[in-house]
Structures are given as structure tokens and as C-alpha cells.
Amino acid sequence: MTRRELALAALVAVAVALLMHWPLPLHIGSDVPRDIGDPLPQSWQVAWDGHALLHQPLDWFQANIFWPLPNSLAFSDALVGYAPFGAIGSGVHAAVVRYDLLFLFAYAFAFFGAYVLARELGAGRAGAFVAGAAFAYAPWRLEQDGHLHVLSSGGIPLALALLVRGYRRDSVPWVAAGWLVAAWQVSLGFTLGLQIAYLLALLCAGVAVWGLRSSWLPSRRVLVATVAGVAVLGLTALALSRPYLEVARDHPEAKRSEHTVALYSGGFDQYLSAPGANTFWGPVTHGIRKGLAFNPEQTLFPGLLVVLLGLACLALGGYSRRLRIGLLIAVLVCGWLAMGFHDDGWPWPYKLLYEHAPGWESSRTPGRLNTLTSLALALLAAGGATALLARVRRPRARTALAVAFVAVILFEGAGFEGLDGPAHPAVPKPPLALGSLPDPQLHLPMSRVGNRRYVLWSTDGFPQIVNGRASFGPRLTSEIAYRVRNFPDRESAAYLRRIGVRTVVLYTQLAPGTSWARAAERPVSGLGLGRERRGAAIVYRVVAAG
């Protein structure tokens, strides 16, 4: 691979990301992909990472949400690796701009990483483009468009490509770069960090066994680089896991029980069902999708052409026989693991990981292992495309067929909803500047819809807020919500004063249908509360006792 080829691959990856998510590039900073659910708190996460990097690097995980609980950043995957981006700009608009750009970057980087790995393993250029399209735009990814920590998978194939190149060339810089990229991938979150860590452990064990049998050893310099790289990866995982372990200790409710994992587990029919947002396969697989227990994590269809090209690779070549068999085993094993487990007597391998492998008990969604399944299948598809194209003698016909392969794969993975493009909803704008209000703050109603917005809006100065959005609900936060269900009244006002809340903000437009629907009509006389209407919000100041 030349620099020119890599530059072309990067440009194609960016162009495809812009095209496949049109018209989002026209609305950077005002819209977010998929929905106004998880993209809002994830926009806050990246913003907080940048804030912590600049202002409190030694107290990184002591975030401003879920006050007064410690380590609140560790209530979800923290996206720490994106902190340098989070340090650029400030406020709500900057947080949304940052998230949109990182969303597009995640897709482009996944495409580029798979391209480089396929080339390093021996695929032709056209086959590598097939790998990039197949990995980054597999239909199942559409259901993950609200989960930046799942989409940010490009570090996995790129780290593998750098390591393969480094060990083949006995090159310290390439080996070191591979381990550093792997460590960065872990820093984005343990959802994918666990996967690459265990994958590298298995590959290292396999290479060690093969090296002993074949009397192959890397040079001493490369061995030292390997030890250093493993140490960096291990220290990164150790440093990031500490707050998560403390959260698991302090919050038993955060534990993913076997029942929870089983709820998100599925059968083989998952691989025959595409997300409802998928333009072509969504309607076709509607009947299968209806039978699934939890669609957002169980629609794992990889695309038809990718499977056919993978079969062509197994039959016709494209890689060495050993590599083809290895990739097939990877597809089958990872695919089985991604189905999770059920109480039906089968020896589900995922259950062994859940019960015995460190870290796996924290994961509730086995289907996200489809990242590795998809990568192995994309590499097989690259080999199949390479083998088929090698049999076409005319250059123009070969080019046309290569373009057709990539185009069909992208069409199969597209989520357009007609000529207007995919749905990219507008981000709700904050009705007031939260940074100008005394904290700690409580925002009402305490609902799933509301909490996501408050978290994003808190990027204006990062005031401490009781509200938060995470992968579990802390008991204290639930208790606070219960104790203030009748706010404003004497009991709730006294309780908030006792725990130290200084400001309560009621958003009247979000209150209907909640226990705070009539809160704006309740009198505050004698409650020790000051009240002021600011547009669509009412601000209550909790007056200190005495």
C-alpha cells in the first residue's frame, strides 16, 4: 500500500459516510442521527471528557450528572478516547457539532480500518473496498446509530492491520502503533474494548503456539515493543476499569443478571432480520422481526451479497487456505456468541464468558459481538471479490463489477426513508442557560425523555444536576424522584433543602403525563421557595433554612 492509495481510501471512506447519512452533513450542530434519545447524553459524554481533560484530569469520572453520586461518568461507556475532540469548543451547540462529526468519523474510520486490514491480509484494492463497505455499512448497524460507542469500531481492524504489518516486517514502529491503536479503542468503552482485548489475547496465544511449533521468533526489539504494547493496553484497561468496579460495588442494581442477558439474547433468526430502518431488507424481513423479543439488539442481518462473496472466498480462494478457515471459524464462533444464552440445555459459550471471563458480566447485550462477526465476514467477502475479479479478463468489466459489488453492499445497508433521506431529528434547544443558575440543580419532570435533554443542556457550564441518563437507574436518584413526586409541597421542599439542592427547574412542556403535570399551578407560599417564570420553564430557588 502506497500513501496515495491510503489517501484515496480515506477520501472514499469520508465521501461514502457523507452520502450514506445525507442530509445530516447539511445540518451539523442542529440535528442528530437516528433519534433524540441516546445521542443527547453521548454528546454530553464527549463534552464532559474534554472538560475533564482540561480542568480535572485526576477526577475524570466525577461528572456533573447524577449528583451527589461519585463516578457518574462510569455509569455508561465513557468515550474517554474522544476527549481531545471534547476539548474543542464549549456549550450545547458545540457538543452537538462534535457528536455529529464524530458520528460521521466513526463510519468513515470503520470503512478505512477494514480496507487497510483486508489489503494487509492479501485482498486486492477492489476487494478491500468491499471489506470497508461490508464492515461499516452492514445492515445491522442501523439499529446502533444512536450508540456512538458501538459504531466506533474502526480501531479494531486498524490495530490488527498494523500488528500484522509490524510482525511480518519485524518492525518496532508498526507493532507499537498497533498496540497503541488497540489501547485507544479500549479507551472508547468496554463494549468493544473487551472484544478487542480478548481477541488479541487469543491471537497472541495462537501465534505463540505456532511460533513454538515452527521455531519462529520475532527479534528482541519487536519482543520488547510487544511487551511494552501489552503493558500500555493492560494499564489503560486497568485505569479505566477502576471506576467501573467501584460503581459495581456501590450500585448492586447495576449488575446485569442472567435474566437480563437472556432477555437480550436471541436465536439464529436474528441473522435473518434486518432493522426496520433498512430501506430494502427492513420491509422484506418484517415478519421475522416481529417474532424477536427485542428488535434494537437482535436484528443482525449482515447483507446477502456479503454472505455470497464470503462463500465465494471459501470456494475459490482470495486468501491462503489457512486464513480462509480461520475467518470462517471466527464468523461461526462470534456469531454463536452474539446469540447470547438461553435456559434450554444447550452449552451456550456466551454463558461461560459471562460466568468466568473478567468483564463480561457487565455486558447485557450479546448482539453487539456482531461487530467481530461482521468484520470476519467482511474480510471473507473481500477475498471472494478478489477471487472473482481475478477471473474477469477485461479491465473495464472488472472495474464495473467491482463498483457494482460495493454499490450493492451499500444499497443493502442503506437506511434512507425516501428521497428526503434518513430521519435526523432536530436537537431541542435549552429554554434557559443552566450555567447561570445556582447548583446543585434538579430538573423536572424526571423522565427518560427529559433527563436526556437536561444532561445535554448541562454542557452549558456543567452545573451539578441530580438528573442523569445511563445504562442503569441508581437507587438514590430513583428515591429522589419519588420524594419530590408532589413538588412543590412542604415535604419535597424540606427534603431538597436537606440534601442540598439549590435550584429546581420545571419544564412545563414536558410535564403533561407525569406526576408534575400540575406542578406549575401549585402555590409556593410558606414553602421556602422562590419562583420565577423564564419562558417555557419555571425556576424555583430553594431558600436555605433559617
pLDDT tens column, 415-473: 865 544 567 889 999 999 999 999 999 999 999 999 999 999 999 999 999 999 998 89
pLDDT at site 131: 97
Residue 352 has pLDDT above 90, yes or no: no
Scan for cell 486468501, then name that residue: 319
Q: Taking a C-beta distance cutoff of 8 angstroms, is the pair 542, 514 a contact?
A: no
Residue 209 has pLDDT above 90, yes or no: no
Residue 232 has pLDDT above 50, yes or no: yes
pLDDT tens column, 93-131: 999 999 999 999 999 999 999 999 999 999 999 999 999
Residue 339 has pLDDT above 80, yes or no: yes
Please give the Cα distance from 34 to 101 (Å, whole number). 14
Scan for cell 479478463, then name that residue: 393
Place 236 in a pLDDT band, splitting at 50, 70 and 90: very high
What region, left, alpha or beta, does residue 260 occupy, with left being phi > 0 and alpha being psi -120 to 50 degrees?
alpha
Q: What mean pLDDT comes out for the span 528-543?
A: 92
Please give the Cα distance from 310 to 376 (Å, whole number). 9
Q: Compute the C-alpha angle 27/29/33, nearest 5°.
A: 65
Out of 52-61, 338-347, 427-436, pick the least confident. 338-347
Domain boundaries defined on the chain:
3-67+77-413, 434-542
DSSP at 140 = G
Q: Is 507 helix (H, G, I), strand (E, B) or coil?
A: strand
The fraction of the chain above a pLDDT of 90, given in percent, is: 78
Q: What mean pLDDT comes out for the span 3-18?
A: 96
Task: Give per-residue burial for 185-219: e unless 16+ CB within 10 Å, then b.
Answer: bbbbbbbbbbbbbbbbeeeeeeeeeeeeeeeeebe
Place 21 in a pLDDT band, splitting at 50, 70 and 90: very high
Q: Taking a C-beta distance cutoff of 8 angstroms, is the pair 540, 530 a contact?
A: yes
Residue 546 has pLDDT above 90, yes or no: no
Please give the Cα distance from 401 to 173 (Å, whole number). 37
